[in-house]
Structure 1
Amino acid sequence: MSPRDGHGVVAGLNPVAKLAASLLIALPLVVTVDAVSAGVALLLELPLLLMAGLGWRRFWVRTLPLWIGAPATAVTIALYGATSGAVMFEWLFIRVSEGSLALALAAFLRVLAIGLPAVVLFVTVDPTDLADGLAQIVRLPARFVLGALAGMRMLGLLVEDWRALALARRARGVADTGRIRRSLGMAFALFVLAIRRGSALATAMEARAFGAPSPRTWARPSRLHAGDGLLMIAGLAISTVAVAVSIAVGTFNPIFGPA
């Protein structure tokens, strides 16, 4: 990983290319559950992850949910998954077999192979750049894109609002006891505040002609370049090679196959 966050080769590419690469990697892996395709994809993703421009600390912090969720998924499938092959351990509702262990390993690698590129590639994405790309390149409706962008920009204010509400209620001596009741009351107050702020934001955007039916102009043009194309080709190559290797060794296990 680069010692400086956000300065990798991939960090400066178009967010639409990052989104497309993540989808190209994930979609083929979704249709099969086998350890070979997921393992090959994970190995091929390593150079892409190294060029993402994240420091080691930020990488582990951002991907921590994956490192928790993947083993938890594997353990659950190993203990309670479909039984096939020799049974290695059995107790009450728990039955560990060769088939459930193989499926657990495939699920573990699959979660990492799908999740790591999606998380790492989008850490360096600016929401405004993503909105520009979705509206100008993907041609999504500008009104929908700008509304979603405005909503995302407001998410950071919820934490500050929650802290301000807690301080205000404590200053008035309201709900010093009863954590559940206090939390429910603050959640309702935050909900009302969010609706009022959303209404004011919608009015302000309409006043600035954000909802006008005519084609709008963009302050920052968003275009795909050669590097963006190479990233999408890399995503397609990773999934293609992973599935091809899985088919070649005979481990390809489509989830929509015959029962």
Structure 2
Amino acid sequence: MSLATLDERTGVLGRRNALAKLVAATVVGVPLLLSIDPVSAAVALAAVLVLLPFARLSARGLWLRLWPIVVSALIAAAATVLYGRAGGETYLQWGLVHVSDGSLLLAAAIALRVLAIAVPSVVLFATTDPTDLADALAKLANLPARFVIGALAGMRLVGLLIDDWNELARARRARGIADNGRVRRFLGQAFAVFVLAIRRGSDLATAMEARGFDAPVTRTWARTSRLTAGDAVLVLLGLAVAAVSVGIALATGSWRFVLTL
């Protein structure tokens, strides 16, 4: 079963080639890794949010995909505020805790950068069918068939992993062993799902081997994957977002190359 819904796949982004989406996400994210400044990340994030309606993602579906990233960004920002590099006026100092202008600016830059890199990737791949991505990687990027098929099989198992988690939670609750101790319950359930994932992965690897997926022959593909003018526009749009965000950061003097920090 596809991870993307029918409505998401038929939108403007959903009709674009999976390889073009991968390239667009890369060209937006890589420049943001070269600097720690809030301006370039804020500009890139604002541009992505403006283009977000073209993905045809529901608010609930988008939040379910993004909330772990938002929480991670907030945790990283909070830690940076308390323990980041000091600079400028100091607002609080207690032991290792040192809140200052420098730590606040760095925290904002880190939080915005996490979101600016993650949100485009999540949005683009939320509108991508895993099989389409595998076809594009094999036919257009010429990646080895063994790698492509293995990755596709792994992506297909994500839905089963979620189902295993939900079914195990219901089973443990029915047996009365999930009423208290949330941390212990989570760790125990996570270990059980981890064991199930290893067993299913081993069974799948054996089944694929038995069906000749590792045969030393040139593999044929049932479907074609083509790049269109719309795919070129998507890549150019990604380049434009990256160029504008970096250009504005350089123009405002906020650009700070990571190797010079």
Show the counterpart of 1:76.
Answer: 79
Matched residues in 2 for 1:25 and 1:176: separation?
43
Residue 196 of structure 1: how far off its partner (Å): 5.0
| SS of 2:98 mapped into structure 1 | strand
Query: Is residue 246 from structure 1 mapped to residue 260 from structure 2 by the alignment?
Result: no
State the partner residue of 2:111.
108
Separation in 2 of the partners of 1:247 and 1:78?
Answer: 25
The alignment's TM-score, normalised by the length of structure 1, stands at 0.84
TM-score, normalization: structure 2?
0.83
Aligned partner (choices 61, 65, 69) of residue 64 of structure 2 = 61
Structure whose CA Rg is larger: 1
SS of the residue 2:77 aligns to: helix
**Per-residue deviation, 1:160:** 4.7
1:88-131: CA deviation from partner (whole Å, max 9, x where unpaired): 22223221111111111111211111111011111121111111
Shifted more, 247-256 versus 88-97: the winner is: 88-97
Show structure 2 runs of 5+ residues with no match: 1-6
Residue 212 of structure 1: aligned partner: 215
CA distance in 1, matches of 2:189, 2:60: 37
CA contact (8 A) 1:166 1:186 kept: no
C-alpha separation in 1, matches of 2:105 and 2:190 = 47
In structure 2, do the counterparts of structure 1 residues 54 and 6 end up closer, same or farther at CA, with 3 Å as the change threshold? farther
State how 1:97-136 maps to structure 2 within 5 Å: 97-136=100-139
SS of match in other structure, 1:256: helix
Match of 1:152 among 130, 150, 155: 155
Give, as a single letter, the amino acid of the residue that structure 1 aligns with 2:85: A
What is the CA-CA distance between 1:186 and the residue it aligns to?
A: 9.1
Residue 162 (structure 1) shift: 5.9
Cα 1:168–1:181, aligned 2, differ >3 Å: closer, same or farther? closer
Count how many residue pairs are aligned between Structure 1 and Structure 2. 253
Single out whichever of 18-27 and 182-191 deviates more from structure 2.
182-191
* Distance verdict in 2 for CA 1:169–1:93, change over 3 Å: closer
Q: For 1:38-76, what per-residue CA distance to the aligned partner results, in whole angstroms no more than 9, with x for missing partners?
A: 111112222332211101221222211222222222222
Question: Among residues 202, 207, 210, which one is paired with 2:205 in the alignment?
Answer: 202
Residue of structure 2 aligned with 1:222, choices 222, 225, 232: 225
Which runs of 5 or more structure 1 residues have no equivalent in the other structure?
Answer: none
